[in-house]
Structure 1
């Protein structure tokens, strides 16, 4: 049964593979073209908890600026963090640099080609190691993301809810993973989940595995996989200070390397807590309320009270970035929201820098 399922899925993939900047399609792969492990690794890190649509432009820009892992390893930390801004989950960007430097320092600038060796690199966990070893090096590794879990849950009508079902779904995926074309197979299962076996309204009528799918036979495909209800996210609050000098310079600081938005540039403010402590403003000025901004993180909702002011004197915290050196796109999405709230509250400059940006 495994061989028949593999053949039917690969035949489908040969005709329907999604085109992605980092992917070598099945036709080229059969002709001997091999994926660039650096491009595959970069895509897998960027795609963690992020959609393909959001990642495409970032991936293309990173490859244009830093074409090789050696180029990335030699890059300035602030430049990489600035290019990552807006993509979220900023620990990934810090690990990206650590991993690139480890590949250069410990592996001569070449990614190791086995699952176990890839696992030793910073920021690479079991899923990423399996994906890189399969896609870049054609190893028969078991690649299981959310799409694959959904396909397996439906193929075998697994009733156990996630996340408890993960070991069972991984075992089922392992049983189907072939030795022939494992890289294409791994991408084929993910494409199947992303385009046909979708979370809502799966297109069972055009699925290459339609006749073997237990959930379709039982009429419960759209109900699977089941999921354990999540607890409501707590709400944290804080205060953030957006100060601007009359010459257009903004008062900014680099956040600590550890923690949310670590290493990113942003506006000074308080800690984020259910009941935040009072925090002194970063400079003497007539601070005014500029409204609230809201942001959703993985584990909590955040509400920040924005205070804005024109700052005439020196700052006790942070540093002023001149208007001609300030690029709003270097800010993470949360801080862009703060910036736009501040711009709406502050009086216009005599020559206003073009700093207003849309949220991403």
Structure 2
């Protein structure tokens, strides 16, 4: 058996040969055959996909990506878009700070860099909303630079390949060293996508398909029978539960009272229903005095750091109502439930149970 610590180039080549046969098709990806024929990835599409994929799955992102690129086919088109339009298209994808940073980054690239993305890790990481992983991924995939890409899939592959039992997140530097050791100078962009595909399709969190893995022979966890238990993770603290109220109101013409949330914080910049603060013991805070009706049902939603339970109230908007800061009247024919963030759409859906 060849030791992967001595022959990393053998492992890299084995994986690239597997990728040439089994690469997933994605709307932002230039496949290995097209890449070998000289087709270069569009850095804008790679950047957009990587930002969308943060904390999200490929399946969830595909439709959003295709809608975005139809509506805004270049970074300059996106930079010129209205904030509200971009936030509405992003609705439902979650982690809304990504959408705000998406616009900031697009405008820097369009205005300060003539619409051209930097082709180095250092240049990319200086842009708004681009962190170490994203800078490495864009640099490798879009520009074929030998940067080390380490996402959750790659962490799992490296932990199993080397049978690392120290828990995440503390073991990340060790796993990155292992990943760097295997990153080839030749075809690093294809390799980065190959190792992520390996984790997503074969070296999966549960029931890894070790029998068809191109790295089954050198994989130490497979040899030791520990693959299914890796990577280990430091136990998370239980998520707290917060509570709140939302207030859904419309006038006699069917127009809706809505509120745009502050740019900073959860759901920043998103349009939703007026509501109370979210905490352990929220205070009712209706946007106007009325006979508010309790819908008798709750909205339950989970964010990264807490669970949320919302009570839903409904009333008719009084004639001559004066808007407060941040509030808007959305005309009935302009209202699209799909533009709402998921937690707000859940409240709307209760009206039609």
Same fold (TM over 0.5): yes
- Which residue of structure 1 lines up, in the alignment, with residue 329 of structure 2? 320
Give distance in 1, aligned partners of 2:112 and 2:209: 46
- 3-state SS of the aligned residue for 1:211? coil
CA contact (8 A) 1:284 1:311 kept: no
- Which residue of structure 2 lines up, in the alignment, with residue 283 of structure 1? 288
- 3-state SS of the aligned residue for 1:192? helix
- Which residue of structure 2 lines up, in the alignment, with residue 173 of structure 1? 179
Q: In the TM superposition, what whole-angstrom CA distance separates every residue of 1:53-87 from its partner, at most 9, and x where no partner exists? A: 01000001100000000000000000000000111
- Which residue of structure 1 lines up, in the alignment, with residue 55 of structure 2? 49
- 3-state SS of the aligned residue for 1:294? strand
- Which residue of structure 2 lines up, in the alignment, with residue 340 of structure 1? 349
- CA apart distance, 1:315: 4.6
TM-score by length of 2: 0.96
- 3-state SS of the aligned residue for 1:88? coil
Give distance in 1, aligned partners of 2:287 and 2:36: 60
Task: Give structure 2 stretches of 5+ with no counterpart.
Answer: 1-6
CA contact (8 A) 1:113 1:133 kept: yes
- CA apart distance, 1:285: 2.2
- Which residue of structure 2 lines up, in the alignment, with residue 200 of structure 1? 206
Residue 121 (str. 1) matches residue 130 (str. 2): no
Give distance in 2, aligned partners of 1:7 and 1:238: 54
Q: How does 1:75-154 map to 2 (within 5 A)?
A: 75-154=81-160
Q: How does 1:10-89 map to 2 (within 5 A)?
A: 10-89=16-95
Match of 2:248 among 218, 234, 242: 242
CA contact (8 A) 1:155 1:212 kept: yes
- 3-state SS of the aligned residue for 1:212? coil
CA contact (8 A) 2:260 2:328 kept: no
CA contact (8 A) 1:241 1:307 kept: yes
Give distance in 2, aligned partners of 1:131 and 1:106: 22
- CA apart distance, 1:322: 1.2
- CA apart distance, 1:153: 0.2
TM-score by length of 1: 0.94
Match of 1:261 among 267, 288, 297: 267
CA-atom RMSD in angstroms: 0.9
Give distance in 2, aligned partners of 1:190 and 1:230: 25
- 3-state SS of the aligned residue for 2:127? coil
Structure 1 stretches of 4+ with a deviation exceeding 4 A read none
- 3-state SS of the aligned residue for 2:163? coil
- CA apart distance, 1:343: 4.2
Give distance in 2, aligned partners of 1:131 and 1:232: 32
- Which residue of structure 2 lines up, in the alignment, with residue 228 of structure 1? 234
- Which residue of structure 2 lines up, in the alignment, with residue 349 of structure 1? none
CA contact (8 A) 1:308 1:342 kept: no
CA contact (8 A) 1:138 1:181 kept: yes
- CA apart distance, 1:309: 1.3
Give distance in 2, aligned partners of 1:131 and 1:275: 43
Q: In the TM superposition, what whole-angstrom CA distance separates every residue of 1:290-346 from its partner, at most 9, and x where no partner exists? A: 1210100000000111101122331554232110111111111111011112344xx
Match of 1:218 among 208, 217, 224: 224
Give distance in 1, aligned partners of 2:322 and 2:287: 6
- Which residue of structure 2 lines up, in the alignment, with residue 357 of structure 1? none
- CA apart distance, 1:47: 0.2
